[in-house]
Each structure stands twice: as structure tokens, then as C-alpha cells.
Structure 1
Amino acid sequence: MHVHFPGILEVAVAPRPIDYDLPFPYRCSPDIEMARTGNLAWVERYSLVCAEQNLDRYKSWGISQLAAYAYPEARGEDLALAADALGWFTLFDDQFDEALGEQPDEVAGICMKLLSLIPPGADSDTGADLDSFSRSYIDLWSRSTQGMSDDWCLRLRRSWQQTFEGFVEEAEERRTRAVPTVDTYLRKRVKSLGAYVWCDLVERLVGCHVPERAWSLPILHELRRFHGELCVILNDLFSLEREAEFEHSGDNLVLLTATRQSLALQESMEEALRVAEGKALEVMRLHMQIPHLADQIAATSEERAQLALYAGALTSLPRSNLDWSQHTLRYRDVPAIR
């Protein structure tokens, strides 16, 4: 299906509070200020933000607050890592909001270059020629994988690969003005939002270790996907104005639904909230199956505790999107920062 969105984009879309809550508790790390100071220094050190006025705008986004909501158990350097990763991802993603984001071959080249910088197969001879995103990405990888198992590092690499594949898929849809189905859209956006990366980092930043054999069963994969889909829907509700301005309507569930179902914008927002409620119910259902998963893998008492800790920590990811998005100024900024 190939359409344009003039009727939707002519509607004034103003930032507004979303009358919605999640059945997961609000939590926040106490180390926000340390993470904020460290993240700003890190962003400047790697020249990820070039102009002073752009640095002020970046500050207004409150990335360290998002990190503290997403990983409330993280402290000190661990929370700083979360803030740096989220800040890097946000700035990297924004470069595709403009013309570059409609050139899938160019996007693929940029993303695959980054993937080539991390094990296995990393090229150690390219350091002198790397740009700021590449150098900072290597730093994030090194800090993220410190002390983690080889299996976990491979899982994180696969998650980054899925993320980059999602960027390329989005670029192809922007180029063709294709409007995917809701299921196809959510599957793609969970990847391009980096949701699987953020799920992986739960183990690193919270300090829990999921038994490797638990990944042979579908429940944890489904749990990650539904948490990711919730993040996507909440992101799309709050970023509606920003994405309408860019006319990337195939990248927003609200605008996509309005077009496919011939709905008014408010009706489409309400439909998105109904979808979110369904995803939240699926998450709750899967949480109730964690003890059964533990039985299936003959988990020890310690492994059961680790599984419960991981599943509980995942709920902070969509919750952080909801709480942070209510206050950040990011979605009132349209031009990309560089």
C-alpha cells in the first residue's frame, strides 16, 4: 500500500498529556545528577553535539532522567552507561529524520560499518579514520560488555544487528512511501527503536543473569517483544507532532492507523491506546508464566530469583517512556541536532 498523508498532516498536532497509565510501578534511580553531568561530558568528548545551542537543546531532553526511569536499579557508572547509550542512540537516530533517512543503501552502509567495529570480526586497524558516532559506539560496546559472558555479548550483538536492520527497513519504507500493516509496523519499529538492546542491557545494568537455557523457550522472547511494542506505541503517541512535521507518517502508529482505517486523529490516538492496553495485558499474562518457565528449565532457587528479577526489571522500559515523555522537551524540537 503506497499513499501520502496530506489530510492528516494538515491537522494541528499539539503536544498533550496522554490520559493513560501502565500497570507497572514508577521507579527512579537516585543517581540522576551524576549521570547527567557524566553524559554531557561524554557527548562533548566525542563531539556528538557540535554547537552550543544544540547542546542546550540536548540538555532539555533529559536523557539522564530517561535512563534513571528505565534502569532504576542502576547506580553510578552503570547509570552513566545507560544515559550514554540512550543519548548516543537518540542522536544517531535523528540523522535519519532528514533526506538521508530516505536512502536505504546509504543507511545500510552507515549501520553495517558500525556493526563491523564490534566482535566478532572487528577491524582493529580503522580507529584513526573513525567518525564521532563510530568512536563513541566502540566505547559503549566496551563498557557494555565488561564482565559479561560470551553468550550475552553475542546476544547483544544480534540485538544491535536487528536495530540496524530496522533502520534500513524504515529508510526503504520512507523512500517508497509504503504504509505497512500494524503488525508489520510494530515488528519493524521494535527493532529500530533499539528495544532488544535496551532489554539486553537490563542484565548488565541491573546485575541479573538469565540462565542461558531459558532462551531456548519462547516466553522471554515474547516478553521482550511485548515490552518493546509498548515502548513503540507510547513513543508514537508522544512524538506525534514531531513525526507529522517530518511527514514520516509510516513511522508513527497513530498516523498509520488513521490512514489505514480512515480515522480522525483523535480516534486513531484512542485506537493506539487500546492496542497498548492489549499489549500490557499480554505482558501481565507472560509474567505469570515465569514460574512455569523456571519449572521447564529445572531452575535452581537462585536462577528462579534471577528470572523474576529480569522480568520485573523489563517493566521499567515502557514505564520510563511514559514518565519521561510527559516532561521532556525533545518532542517539541523538530530539527535534528548536529
Structure 2
Amino acid sequence: MPQDVDFSIPLPARRSPDHARAEAEHIDWPRSFGLITGEAAAERHRKGGYADLASRFYPSAIGADLDLGVDLMSWFFLFDDLFDGPRGEDPVQAKQLTDAVAAALEGPLPASAPLIAHGFADVWRRTCQGMSKEWCTRSAQHWRHYFQGYVDEAHGRRDETPCGSAREYLAMRRHTIGVQPTVDLAEATGHFEVPHRVFDSAVMSAMLRIAVDVNLMLNDIASLEKEEARGEQNNMVLILMREHGWPKSRSIAHMQDEVRVRLEEFLLLESILPKVCDSFSLTADEREAVERYRLDAVRPVIRGSYDWHRSSGRYDAEFALAAGRQGFLEELGSAR
């Protein structure tokens, strides 16, 4: 994120006390699945700071719980990079890969599945350990929305029909930003579950929607230069420029205002959560789960995203130019 673009995030910065160990070991998992081969690819992955991101998203997690979060972050960005080339402009290719990965939600994968699918299958298996069947069903549905978002984006790129409004863009991008599965994992790493009846409440849904929107706006500003360079048209800054005829600076200022307004609403929603718990007659244990969700899942995904975007090397100009990158990415997305 450009250092001169500041967002005042009224939430405390937190990071897992186990972050140094996780950082030192986090290349082991993607290497074990063939997702990273060679020191150049490992160094490029380290530069992204994905272990740091997980440590901020799951600040109360340590040990194997934090490792699961780190592995998910590694997987997320390796998967996302697969759509930077031709696959991201071809709905058929995009659906072939997303279907191959999503198959892990249903059961064991064939040995011939793409490397990236086997990596996801491992993360999903570990995620569901100790969680209820109802929770796994809920989280699996969030993953399906995430995968479908890549196909929808590919349709837009193929047809060269950029989103005409910020509202239209938000509706699509809310899936591919991947915030909902990220927040879900906080329940798994924290070994608790928000009661389904309150999870779907208007207040909780609004809090999650704010977390998603803030994340995608932070990400769009951070990735603006990279996306402009490759001709991407669906970035909120660029959409606001087209929609309103604004210069880039005003579009960014508008997004800063949008984040501020959303976070003011978020704090208001937080303040009425106890009344929401009362209205659902939650038990003491259920109330504790809701409070942990607020403190260890939703808040960290907002503040953690902000802090990581400001420190990650993922959006440096040279990051996407690593030698041999595209050929290796094609291998990750191909059947074995």
C-alpha cells in the first residue's frame, strides 16, 4: 500500500506471540506439496509476508493452530496468482481449476488433481478437525462462493466488460477477496463455534460485510499499480475514476472516507452485540463464542489486513516479475 495513503483504523494492532517460529518454518508446508520448488520461489514467497499476515489474522493462535492459519495464507496467494495470466481471462479454464479444487470439499481427491488442489485438501481436512458437521457445511458454502467469484471475474475479463459501478464491483469482489473463509478459520484455530442462529443475524452479517469491504478496498489500493500495469480494469480506484470522472487522488480519498464510515458503523454494531445475544437467549458459553468471534476473528481481519498491506513486499513492482514465474504457476494449476 502506498505509504502516503493512510487509513485510520480504530482497532488495536495484534500479532501472535508465536509469529517468529511460524515465520521461520512456513515454507516447509508449501514445499511438501510441491507448491514451492527452489530457493528463488521460496524467497519470493517469503517476501509476501504471509506468515506475518496469518499471525495478525489469528493473534491468539499458537503452535499447530497458527500453522494452519499460515498454511491457508500461503495457499490463498499461490492460488490467486494462478489467475493473473490467461486462465483469469478464460471462464472455462477458471472453472476447470476451481472445480478441481472445490472437489476437496466433497471428499478425497484423485492423485491426478492439480498440486494446488491437493494443498487445499490438506488445509480443509485440518480445518474441519474437531468442528461440527453444521459448521463445516457453512464454511464449505463460503468456499464455493469464493471459487465461483473467480469464474465470474473471468467472464468480465473475457467479454472486456469492466464493472460499470462501484456497487456492481463490490457485489462480485466480496467473494474473491476471500475474507469469509479467512474469518471462518478463526473459529477452527480458536476451537469454538458461533451459534448458527446468531451467525446469520442482521448485526453479525453487517459486521462481516464491513470487514469484507474494508479488506477489498485496502487491497485494491495496494495492488493498484500492479493491476494498472497489466491492464486490469476492475479495481475500485479505476472504477470510481470511470464512474464519476474523478482523478485518481479523489477516488482514493473517497475510499478513505468509505472505510472511515464503515468502521464507525462497525463500532456501533459492536456496541449492540450484547443486546443481540439477549434477543437470542444465548447461554454463557454461546456468548463467550460470540465475544471471541468479535475479538479474535472479525477485528483482526480488519486491522491485520491494514498492517500487512503496509509491510508486505507482495505489491512491489518487481514482485510479479520473478524469472520463470508464469511457467511454474501453470504447473501448479495443471493435473499431475
**Structures share a fold, TM > 0.5?**
yes
Q: Is the 8 A contact 1:234 1:318 kept in 2?
A: no
Give the 3-state SS of the residue equivalent to 1:101 in structure 2.
helix
Separation in 1, partners of 2:160, 2:268? 36
Question: Which residue of 284, 288, 307 maps to 1:305?
Answer: 288
70 and 335 in structure 1: CA distance in 2 versus 1, 3 angstrom threshold: same
**What is the percentage of aligned positions where both structures have the same residue?**
28
**Offset at residue 226 of structure 1 (A):** 1.2
Separation in 2, partners of 1:273, 1:308? 28
**Offset at residue 270 of structure 1 (A):** 0.6
**1:329 maps to 2:316:** no
Give the 3-state SS of the residue equivalent to 2:249 in structure 1.
helix
Question: Which residue of 274, 283, 306 maps to 1:291?
Answer: 274
> Which residue does 1:89 correspond to in 2?
76
> Which residue does 1:116 correspond to in 2?
103
> Which residue does 2:173 correspond to in 1?
189
**1:44 maps to 2:31:** yes
**Offset at residue 245 of structure 1 (A):** 1.4
> Which residue does 1:55 correspond to in 2?
42
**Offset at residue 324 of structure 1 (A):** 0.9
Length-normalised TM-score, structure 1: 0.90
Amino acid at match of 1:129: S
**1:27 maps to 2:11:** no
> Which residue does 1:257 correspond to in 2?
240
Q: Is the 8 A contact 1:155 1:200 kept in 2?
A: no
User: Which segments of structure 1 move beyond 6 Å, counting only runs of 4 or more?
Assistant: none
Q: Is the 8 A contact 2:100 2:114 kept in 1?
A: no
**1:16 maps to 2:9:** no
Separation in 2, partners of 1:207, 1:27? 19
Aligned length: 320
1:225-264 residue pairs with structure 2 within 5 A?
225-250=209-234, 252-264=235-247
Unaligned runs of 5+ in 2: 329-336
Unaligned runs of 5+ in 1: 1-13
Separation in 2, partners of 1:179, 1:285? 34
**Offset at residue 114 of structure 1 (A):** 1.4
51 and 256 in structure 1: CA distance in 2 versus 1, 3 angstrom threshold: farther
Amino acid at match of 2:240: T
Amino acid at match of 1:62: G
Length-normalised TM-score, structure 2: 0.91
**1:169 maps to 2:161:** no
Mean CA deviation greater in 211-220 or 155-164: 211-220
Q: Is the 8 A contact 1:231 1:321 kept in 2?
A: yes
40 and 17 in structure 1: CA distance in 2 versus 1, 3 angstrom threshold: farther
Separation in 1, partners of 2:123, 2:200? 28
